[in-house]
Each structure stands twice: as C-alpha cells, then as structure tokens.
Amino acid sequence: MSALLEVSGVSVTFDGFRAINNLSFNIGIGELRAVIGPNGAGKTTFMDIVTGKTRPDTGTVTFGERSVSLLSLSEAQIARAGVGRKFQRPTVFEDQSVTENLLMALKANRSPWRVLFWKPKVEDMARVQALAAQVGLADQLARKSGELSHGQKQWLEIGMLLAQEPRLLLVDEPAAGMTLAEREQTTAMLVDLAKTRAVVVVEHDMEFVRRLNCKVTVLHEGSVLAEGSLDHVTANPQVIDVYLGRG
Amino acid sequence: MTLLLRTLLVVLLLLPGLARAEGEAAALIEANRALIEKPSRQTIGPFIAELAASGDPMAAQILQAWEGKRLGLRKADGALFILAAEGEGFVLTDLTGKAAGTAAKADITELKPNAGVRGLIATALVQFTLSGPDMAARKAALDSIARDPSADHLGPLRGSIAGEDDAALLAQKQRLERLLTLQFDVDSAARVAAIQGFGTDLGLDVRGALNPLVATKRQALAGELPEGANLARELTIGRDLSRDEAYDLLVGAGLAPARLTLADQRAALAANLKDGAVAGVALAELATQGARDQAYDALEKAGLVPAAATEAEVDAAIKAHRFVDVYAEADPAVTAAAQAALGGIGTKVGAMQAADLALDAISLASIYFLAAIGLAITFGVMRVINMAHGEFIMMGAYTGYVVQLFVPNYTLSILIALPLAFAVTFAAGVAMERLIIRHLYKRPLETLLATFGVSIALQQLAKNIFGTQARPLTAPAWLDGAWVLNDVVSISYIRIAIFVLAMVFLGFFLWLMKRTRLGLQVRAVTQNPGMAASMGINPDRINMLTFGIGSGIAGIAGVAIGLFAKVTSELGNDYIVQSFMTVVVGGVGNIWGTLAGATLIGGLQKVIEWLNPSNTLAAQTYMILFIILFIQFRPRGIIALKGRAAGD
Amino acid sequence: MMPKTYLAQNRSVLIFIACLALFTLAITLMSEAYGAPLISTSFVKTLGKTLCLCLVALAMDLIWGYAGILSLGHMAFFALGGYMAGMWLMYARTEEIVVQALAQSPLPATAEEITQGIATQIFGVVGSSDFPLIWSFAHSFPLQMAMAVLVPGLLALVFGWLAFRSRVTGVYLSILTQAMTLALSLYLFQNDSGLRGNNGLSGLQNIPGLGDVGQDKLSIWFFWASALALGLGYIALSFVVSGKFGSVIRAIRDDEQRVRFLGYSVEGYKLFLFTLTAIIAALAGVLYYPQAGIINPAELAPIASIYLAVWVAIGGRGRLYGAVIGAAFVSLLSSWFTGGRAPSIPLGFYTVNWVDWWLVLLGGAFVAVTLFAPKGFGGLFDRFSGRRSPDRKGAALGPDDGSLMEKEAEA
C-alpha cells in the first residue's frame, strides 16, 4: 500500500514552544486512521500543517502518487488537491440553506469567473439530493443550516466534505457533543467513508476510537509515541503514562 | 550751574582719562579753522583722526553736528557753534558744550561738508561710538555693523578693540573684526587667516560672510579669460548647462543674435500677409510649424524679416565660445580658503542637521505616541475600535480652552485642565461604552460604524458650540522658547514637555497593566471574559473602566496637542488615521509596539519631509503608502504576538 | 428541486426596474425640457446625481453587505472615475474655447499652439503651462473613458492584491482602505499632482460639442443615463449575488477560513469583488461629476466613503434595494437639510438651525440604526415578505467572532 500522505521530520515552534517535534506520519490510500493524544499533544497543529494553515519550520509534507509538496500550496490549493478537513465545532454556513451549503462544496471549478456563470445542472441537483440522503438530511434541504441541530450540522459538514470528493479526509473530534445515537451513526458514516478514501480521525474518546476499529497513532508532545492497533498502543506503558499521568 | 558741575563730577569720576582732554576738541578746531571751513576729502583725514583721538567727550558731538550739517559760523565773530534749529533762528551751543544763546538765521554761516568728507566723519564717529562710554551704544553700533558690514568699518572697529574693557563686547568685537577682515581686508593673507581662524564655526554670520566670497557668475567668453578673473570652473555643454541655456547666455552677453521665438515668428508672418498668402505659402497651409518655418525662410531670403539664428548657427556660436563660472571675488587664495571652510562647515552642519532631524522625529513620535496611547488601550488591549478617539482628543483640547477662559493664569489653568480633561473624556468614554459599545462587542465593523456616527456628531457639536475658527490654548510662559544648542540644533520646550508627558504615560500604562489589580483584571477579561467572570471579575465593569481610562488619556493628550496645534473641531481628524496606523504598525496589544510604531512613523515622516521639505502633503502621502507596504511584510506589526495566541 | 429561472427567482429585480422606469418617466414628464415644468433643472441634476450615488451604494453593498469587506475607499474610486471623465470634459471644452480664440488671429493655429493654449488655460491656475503625463489621453474620448475604468480598476487591483495577499481583514482592512483614501486625497491636494491641486477640475457641466444644448435638456439626458446605469448595475449585481457566486461571497463574509478549506481562493474572490465594485464606483463617478460640474480633492476625503457606508447601513446591508433606498433617502435628506430648506425649530432659548444640526442628527441616527435596526430600511420589507429566520435563542450564528448575530441573519 503506497502512502497517500507522507509527513516526515516536521517541526513547528510557537514563541519558543515546540508544538510539533520531528513528527513523521504516513497514511495509505483508503486507510482509516485514528490519531489520539492528550491535550497539547499537537493533534490540531498537525492538521493545521497538513491543510496549509500553519507552515512548519522544518520537514516535508507530500501528497498523492506524484508526491506533490503541500508546503508550497495555499489552503485553497491543498483543498482542491484533495484534502478535506472537518473542524471540531461544526462549521457550516448557517445563513444559507442546506442546498446552498452542499452546492458550494460540490466538486467543480472554483475560479471566481467560472463560479459566477455556473448553473446547477440536473445531475448536480441529483448529487446534492444523494449526498443529503447519505448524511440523513434529505428532508432538510430547503432549511437554513443555522436551524439544524448540532448533530445535523456535523453531518451536513461531513456531507459537504463528501461533495468535495477529497482523497484524504481529516476529521477533528467528530463525536464531541453528540448524543449516543448520533455517535453511532457518525461512526458508521466514517467507516463507510474510509472505504473510498483515506480518513484521519483525531479523537481522544477511546470508546469512539475502539468502535472505529482501525490503526491508531498516539501523539505526545508533538511527536509519535506509539502506532498500531488500539489494543497494542493501550498496552504500551509509555502511553499509559501519558494518559494516566506519571503516578 | 550746579547741575552742570555735578554732571562734570560724574564724568570726572567715571572717565578720569577723558576728563583731562576737556576742551581739547575746541582747541584743536580752533587750530584748524581753515580746514573746517573749506574741508576736502584729501586733506581732512588726519584732522578728523586727531579730533577723534583727542579723548574729549565733546569731540563726538562736534563730529555728529558736522556730519549732520549742524555746525555753523557766527558771522559776527567767526566763532563755531553747534546749531539746533528753532523757529526762524538757531539755538547755539559752543564747542565745550556750554549753551551760548541764540542767533538769527542770517547771522550764521552753516558749514556744509561734501559727501566724501561726511563719509570720513561717519567712519570716525563709528569708532567714537565703539569706544564711547555707553555700553548699550557700543553694543548697538556693533550690531548695526554686523547687520550691514562695509570696508569702512574695519579700521574703526580695529581701533576700538584695544580699549574695550567689557569681556563679552570684546569677544563680539574680535569676532566681528575677523568677519570684516575676511571680507574687506586688502591683505590676502590676512583674509585667508581670518577664514581659517573660524574653522568649522556653525554661526550663521560666518556662513553669511563666506557665501558671497564663493558666489559665482556664469559667463560666456569669446576668447581668453579677462585679466584678473578668478575662474571657478569651466562648463561643459550638456553636463553643466543645456544648449539652450548656453545660447541664452550668448544672447544675453550680446555675443549672438536672439533666436526666433514662436510668437515673433507668428507676428512676422502676420505682418507679411499679402493676398491670403505669406511669401507664396497659402494662409490655410500655415497651420503647421513646418509650413511656417518655410514661409519665414522665404521672407528671410527676401530680406523682409530679420535673420534668425538657425540651429546650425546656434551650434557654431556655442562652439566658438567658452562658458565659465567666475567668482565675484577676485582673489583665488581667498576663494579657495572660503570653499574649504564652507566645505568643513557644511559637513558639520550636515551632522548637526541630522541631530536636529532626530530631535524633530522624536518629538513628532512622542506626539503620535501620546495620541495613540489611549487607542493602545481601547483598540490594542480591548480590541474595540473607536473612531471617535480623535474627537476625545478634541474634547480634551477644548476642555483646556474652556478652563483658560475662566482661569487666566496659564500655568494654573494647564494644571487644572489636565485632570479635568481626563475627567471629561473619561466620562464620555464610559458613557459611550455603556450606551453603544457594550451592545456591539464581537461585531467590530458595527462598532467602527457606530463610533463613526458618534465622531460625526461630536465634531458637528463642537462646531456648533465653539464655532469653526481655531481657538487658542496658550502654553505658560515658561514653556515658551526653545532649548538652543547652536544655530542649527534647537528644540522648543513644549516639545520637550510633550516628550516627558509621553514617557510618563508609557510608565503609567506599564504600571497600570502590570502592577495593578485592575490591569490584571483587564488582561483576564480581554483574554477570556467567560473565565474571568467565573473568577468573580465583573467584565462589564472592567470593560467600562478600561475604556474610560483609554478615553481619558486621549483627553490629556488633547490638552498637550492643543498647546502647539490649533484647537478646531477637526483636530481629531488630523490624528485619528495616524493613531490607528501607529497602533497597527507597532503591533496590536503591545505598548512597546505602539512606541516602536510611533517612533517609526514619526521618524519616517520627518525623513520624508527632509527629503522634500517644500511639501508636507507629499510626505503624508508617501508615509501612508509606506505603511500600506509595511503591512505587507509585517501584517502583525513590528512587535507581533506570535503563534496561536495571535489567533487567525 | 431545480432552481427556477433567474428572473422568476428574483422578482425584486423586476419590481425595482419597473419602479425605476416609472420614476424616470415621471421626472421626465415633470422636467423643464420635456414636460410640464414642475421641477427645476437643478433638482433634476440633484436626482440624477442621487441615482449615481445609488449605483455606488450598490457597489458598496456588494463588497460590504454581501462579502463583509467594509471598504472605506470606494468613494475614492468614485471620485477617481470623476476625475478621469473630468479630464476629457475639461480638455475638450477648453480646446473649443482655445480654437475659437485662436481663430481671431491672422494665421491659422498650429496643433502645438492649440495644445499650448489649452495647457495654459487649464494649468495657469497652478502656475504651470505644460501637460503632465497623466493627461496623455485626455484629448481622446474613448481613450480617456478607458482610463476612467482602468485607473480606478488598476488601483483597486494593486491595493487589493497587496491587502488581501497579506490577509488583512476586518477593521484592519477598513483602516487600511481609509489610509489609502487619505493618501490619495492628500496627493491630489498638491498643486504638482497634475490635477490642479485643490482647484480641482471645473466647468464639467459644459459638454463639449453640445454647447448649443441647454442645461435643462442636458440634465435630463444625464438623468436618463444615470437611471440606465443604475438599472443595468442593479441587474448585474443581483446576478452576481444570486447563485453560487453569491453563496460563496456570503460564506466568505461568515467564515473565510472554512471557505478556504472548501477549496475556494478567498483572496481571489475578494480581489475580484474589490476591483469589480471599484470599477462600478468609478463609472458612477463618470456620470456623477458632469452633473455636479466640479470635482476637487475634498470629494475623496475619507469622510465621503464613510457616508457611503452610512447610506448602505441605513438602507439595509445585504439587500441591493436596501442600498439604493438608503443612498437615495439619506443623500436627498442631507441635501434638503444642508441646503437650508428645512425649517428651523425655535426652542425659545435656542433655535435649531438644521444646517448646523443635520450632521449631529445623522450621526445620532447612524448610531441608533446600528444599535436598534441593524437591517435598516430593508428590515421593514422583511416584515411584509415574512422572511423566515433560524431561531438560535440569541446565540452567535457563525463560528467566527465577526460573524452575524441572529438578529442580522434573518435576511
């Protein structure tokens, strides 16, 4: 399995604080991966680096078969290259309807001139319908997304990510603030997603990670502490140390 | 009689040297009657010198009278008197200073020396004044010579130096003597020595004396340099002067005919207009320059118009002549020494000007800092954008003005105005925070607009109350004047006071934010209001107080700014953009950044003004352009908060 | 779920165009030139100018109301467009005068003499008699009109590129645009700016070649042109804000970082909008200043751009008709009050003279609108059309600090 995303030797420092320290991380095409770690382990910074929001001081980040370096691309270019990101808090455009949100995310030419004269075709509307159905919002299309419940917004956001058709999906704590039923549905959705693309789930809820049933990377103080199955890493004494404190 | 005796006594006591000469002047004149009655420039010199040297206090009076054509001969006995016209006759004073009755006009022959003699007398008088007993008169005479120096003054001035007993006046005389020497002495070596004696003296008088020595005149020469001309440099066409300038010089010197101007050509053509054509060229065709030239050439050939220099002739004429800059001063040794001295002075003046510029920049920076420090609190710390900040500055200035209406003592009124301005703008700030800004937290653009509304309204209110004309805010007398280091470097006391005030506020700000409970609470509330609230801090109260303090400081800044700027309703307008720029360029949320921003903006503005002194508008334009570009490279300002704390 | 056709979806556009056409017809029929002389020529000019202001307000609404970029520089583009148009008007008009004057002389004038004469006429007031470089195209109507679009457009492009590239947003951008405006106006105040310093350009109401046509007719012609421009601008902008493009720019307003992660180049969109609106503003200026007759650097003082924001805010942001209503209402009211036509209010101890107090009223009204009616006049229309809005129990709508509160999002 060749690597889709390859992060190697990345370090980043904020005001003398080393948030990411010589981090190396690979994920293959169509792989589901959970990244766990205590607060301040650098999970969010890691996602910021991959999506272009933060520039690392050293190291390389390459993506895809042709190993394109992501470090020279802007956020929008990285997104167009096929990296989707879901934020911790649901970030949908609350002032706009579900349809509008999904149409905006739909894979299409993103240049202002083309967007200005873009008209939704029948197949685009059908795709929006299908996506909405996939994330359980089929009957909410006309509503403003600000009216949706917290869980529905999370799903809408996942639906928007799907509409982007990314090859790599970065998901930040998808289960935060969800009811148990919503969590289960979310888990199913993520597992389903990982069939067609690579998914990295950042989470520190062990139960949720266990349900994902995938390879786990443990981050600590900005670098990889352990990697392997959940049972493998939870058996690691260092991981226990980090999670439970050094007695 | 008693009075006269007393006066004499005083004179005797004060001037024992002169007292012995009493009556000597009268005796001298008596001995040289012939010379006085028929003076000539050639013969009178030694006599005047002798009279001047006599030491008789009357000599000056006699000379003055003589120069002023107020010396007369009584026809009856041939005695000389000083005359004072009164009615139809004269009041007479004899040559020892005693009153001698009156005389009718017809009884007196007035002595009227010619201009040459009068000049000699005047020069002698200068020495009299310069050596006279009255210090104020000596000083006045020196000043008048310094204002309008001439070669004639050199002798008397030199003569008066030996007898000068006042140290300050002596120094002044010696300096003036050297200035006169370098300009008027006949001895080249003495002039050079005098020039070199000044070294790199920065005095304006030295530069004023040296500059005419190196003044040059541009000349066109047909052949060799005239005898005795002091050549400054040979000019090359194209590099030192343009072809047109060179030809104009030739025309001016009468060495070449004037070129044909377009207006002359037009007039000549119009004058020769016959039957709808000029020299065979149809009138309608004369709408191009080429056709006009052609027509004029034809007229020229026909001899109807004067020949105009063609381009080739112009070139030939220029080639046939030399163009030079010639010193007005004939002595090459002097011009060389003056050039060298001016060069040295120039370097030193440059250094001093740089120092002066730096002082100016610091003072402008402290003004910007003072204007911006309130913003550093409201915008920098609280992130509330207050477009009415400038109007708070204006309110402070008007508070000062109103206080001065009631308290005439300027020192006292400023002392009252400072805290009062703080109180007024503090109250205004608190009111604005409670009524407007509180409802708009988290909506910065709306805050910007609402405070703009306040700004518009406040400006117009100020106009309605105080009128549109500028109101005075007068600084106390002890702030008048300037601290003068030399002729180049000086700084006014007001600017020093503003600098001190700015530093005091910097200290106050640091103390407030770092050392007080309020500062701690402010920092807590701005970082995390929810958390602060749960720690028992009332964010509403803290925000209100912080905003009030920021506004209050703006009020105090207003008093300070009002002291040197004119107090108008638009006072705030002049500072608001600069203030925001100061905070943004420096780095939001950091007082040192604001200081750095003020220094950068103040310094840069002064440098741009120095590069282009005639145009302060351009300076501001380029300043703003620079800031826009600067933000490209350091979007977060000079001193930036880094990392995640800065937020995105 | 297929979206309806463009016009069917935007009935408000049809209503607006119909109202504008009716208004234009009514004014024409009441004008001195083409109907019962019920309204004066100067009032027709005021109305024509107001239509131009409505057009620039539309541009402001697009950039601020829709994309959330509070530009305090659009009146600078407006005035710049006016300057460019004014250069041609002044050149061509002076040329007519100079040619006429030179025709008196015995010889026919050369081209150089004419140019020299024009330069002396125009720049004598600032002590110069040469044409600055920026007047290179002033002799030609099409070239100068191209300049009227290109100069403001390029300025907006360069400034916007610099500002957006370094991700200056929010109030920082507002202050930066204000600084740009200030710099431009200070520059134009200089005598050697090439645009006659604080004298500005004058006599612009005299249209070259139309010397025989009276001002009464010219004013109506310009009124028609302004109405046409406003109508076309309204249709164009309502097309821009509808559909996906409108969706994207509103999304940028609410959370630009999220839009970036959707793959849209936020900077590109902002730059596109900034430049587009600058050009619209410039075109409005081209039509405005021949009606005003004079332009000087005071026209692009920062305060002018702030008034523009005031109009849009009072009319209602994020609605095109709101911007038009706000601009028309406030600017007409303003000229009524400041023109001394509003009756003074005697209070016994003090007489409220509206020339002095209008700005106080406007400032206060502006604060009140921002605080109590953030949707402005547009909010009234919402009541009738019964727009639905999400009930968020007062919580912030968007994920960002600067995003809308619930009250505003009801649109």
Indicate whether C161 belongs to any domain: yes
Indicate whether C358 belongs to any domain: no
- pLDDT above 70: residue B355: yes
Minimum-distance CB partner of C409 among A95, A115, A119? A95
Show the domain range for A52. 3-91+166-244
What pLDDT, on the 0 to 100 scale, is given for residue B571?
A: 86
pTM for this structure? 0.80
Task: For residues C119-131, give the mean pLDDT.
Answer: 84
Q: Does A138 touch chain C (CB under 8 A)?
A: no
Query: What average pLDDT does the structure give for chain A?
Result: 84
What number of C-beta contacts closer than 8 Å exist between A and C? 104
Tokens of B113: 């020396």
What pLDDT, on the 0 to 100 scale, is given for residue C398?
A: 43
What pLDDT, on the 0 to 100 scale, is given for residue C220?
A: 92
Nearest CA in chain B to A55: B643
Kindly report the nearest CA distance between residue A95 and chain B, in angstroms.
Answer: 16
pLDDT in tens, B153-193: 777 788 778 777 788 888 888 888 888 887 888 788 888 88
Q: Does A91 touch chain C (CB under 8 A)?
A: yes
Nearest CA in chain A to B640: A15
Q: Does A53 touch chain B (CB under 8 A)?
A: yes
Tokens of B123: 């020069």
Q: Does A15 touch chain B (CB under 8 A)?
A: yes
If phi over 0 gives left and psi between -120 and 50 gives alpha, with beta otherwise, what is residue B33?
alpha
Terminal Cα-to-Cα distance of chain A (whole angstroms): 40
Indicate whether C378 belongs to any domain: no
Indicate whether C354 belongs to any domain: no
Domain count, chain C: 1
Mutation to test the A interface, candidates C2, C262, C265, most A Cβ within 10 Å = C262
C49: confidence class by pLDDT, cuts 50, 70, 90: very high
In this prediction, what percent of chain B has a pLDDT beyond 90? 10
Q: Does B626 touch chain C (CB under 8 A)?
A: no
pLDDT in tens, A35-89: 888 777 788 888 888 888 888 888 889 888 888 888 888 888 998 888 988 877 7
Mutation to test the C interface, candidates A93, A141, A164, most C Cβ within 10 Å = A93
Distances (CA, A) of C233 to A32, C78, C86, C145, C331: 51, 14, 22, 18, 19
Show the domain range for C285. 6-301
Contact B397, B529 (CB under 8 A): no
What pLDDT, on the 0 to 100 scale, is given for residue B643?
A: 41
What pLDDT, on the 0 to 100 scale, is given for residue B9?
A: 47
In this prediction, what percent of chain C has a pLDDT beyond 90? 36
pLDDT in tens, C157-203: 999 998 888 888 888 888 889 888 988 988 888 887 888 888 899 88
Indicate whether C113 belongs to any domain: yes
The ipTM is 0.87
In this prediction, what percent of chain B has a pLDDT beyond 70? 94
Neighbours of C33 (CB within 10 A): 18
Tokens of B23: 């009556």
Query: What average pLDDT does the structure give for chain B?
Result: 81
- pLDDT above 90: residue A247: no
- Single-letter amino acid code for the residue at B248: D
pLDDT in tens, C78-103: 999 999 999 999 999 999 989 888 88
Tokens of B310: 């063609």
Nearest CA in chain C to B265: C107
Among C12, C71, C72, C10, which residue's Cα sits nearest to residue C325?
Answer: C12
- C365/B617 Cβ within 8 A: no
Strand A83-86 relative to strand A223-228, pairing: unpaired
Which fold does the domain B349-642 belong to in CATH? ABC transporter involved in vitamin B12 uptake, BtuC (1.10.3470)
Task: For residues B330-346, give the mean pLDDT.
Answer: 84
Within 8 A by CB and 6+ apart from A169, the residues are A83, A84, A85, A86, A161, A193, A197, A198, A199, A200
* Residue C249 CA from chain centroid, whole number: 21
Task: For residues B197-214, give the mean pLDDT.
Answer: 79
pLDDT in tens, B447-497: 888 898 899 899 999 999 998 888 888 888 888 888 887 777 888 888 888
What pLDDT, on the 0 to 100 scale, is given for residue B11?
A: 46
Within 8 A by CB and 6+ apart from C18, the residues are none
What pLDDT, on the 0 to 100 scale, is given for residue B122?
A: 76
Indicate whether A189 belongs to any domain: yes
pLDDT in tens, B261-314: 777 888 888 888 877 777 777 887 878 888 888 888 888 888 777 777 777 778
Q: Which residues of B touch A15 (CB under 8 A)?
A: 642-643, 645
Q: Does C216 touch chain A (CB under 8 A)?
A: no
Q: Which residues of C touch B604 (CB under 8 A)?
A: none
Kindly report the nearest CA distance between residue B551 and chain C, in angstroms.
Answer: 19
What pLDDT, on the 0 to 100 scale, is given for residue B13?
A: 46
- pLDDT above 70: residue C396: no
**Phi first, then psi: what are they for C35, rounded to 5°?**
-165, -160
Indicate whether A112 belongs to any domain: no
Among B77, B78, B81, B106, which residue's Cα sits nearest to residue B91?
Answer: B81
Domains of chain B, residue spans:
20-125, 132-213, 216-327, 349-642
Contact B311, B247 (CB under 8 A): no
Query: What average pLDDT does the structure give for chain C?
Result: 85
Q: Does C236 touch chain A (CB under 8 A)?
A: no
CATH assignment of the domain containing A76 = 3.40.50.300
Q: Which residues of C touch A87 (CB under 8 A)?
A: 258, 399
Contact C75, C305 (CB under 8 A): yes
pLDDT in tens, B118-164: 777 777 777 777 777 777 878 887 887 877 777 777 777 887 787 77
Indicate whether C108 belongs to any domain: yes
Minimum-distance CB partner of B456 among C108, C356, C363? C363
Q: Does C304 touch chain B (CB under 8 A)?
A: no
pLDDT in tens, A189-209: 888 888 888 889 888 777 788
**Phi first, then psi: what are they for B91, rounded to 5°?**
-95, 135
Using the 8-state DSSP alphabet, how is residue C207 labeled? -
